[in-house]
Amino acid sequence: MAIAEETVSFRWPPGTPAEVKKEYYRLKEELGRNTSRRIAQYVIDGILRDLRGDKVYPVPLLREPTPEQRDWLYHELTISMMAKSLDSILQEPFVPFGRLNEKKEEGQKEDKPSALAEDIVRDMESSGLDFGD
Angstrom distance (rounded) from CA 4 to CA 105: 64
Q: How many CA atoms lie within 13 A of 81 on its CB side?
A: 7
Q: How far, in Å, CA of 127 to CA of 2, rounded?
A: 63
List the single range of 5-9, 73-77, 120-124 with lowest mean pLDDT: 120-124
Buried b or exposed e, range 53-87, using 16+ CB within 10 angstroms: eeeeeeeeeeeeeeeeeeeeeeeeeeeeeeeeeee
State which H helix or E strand residue 88 sits in: helix 76-91
CA distance 10 to 39: 11
Q: pLDDT tens across 37-65, in order?
A: 889 998 998 898 888 887 777 888 888 88
Mean pLDDT on 97-116: 54
Inform me whether the pLDDT recorded for 105 exceeds 80.
Answer: no
pLDDT at position 25 is 93
**Phi–psi pair at 7, nearest 5 degrees:** -90, 130
9 CA to centre of own chain: 29
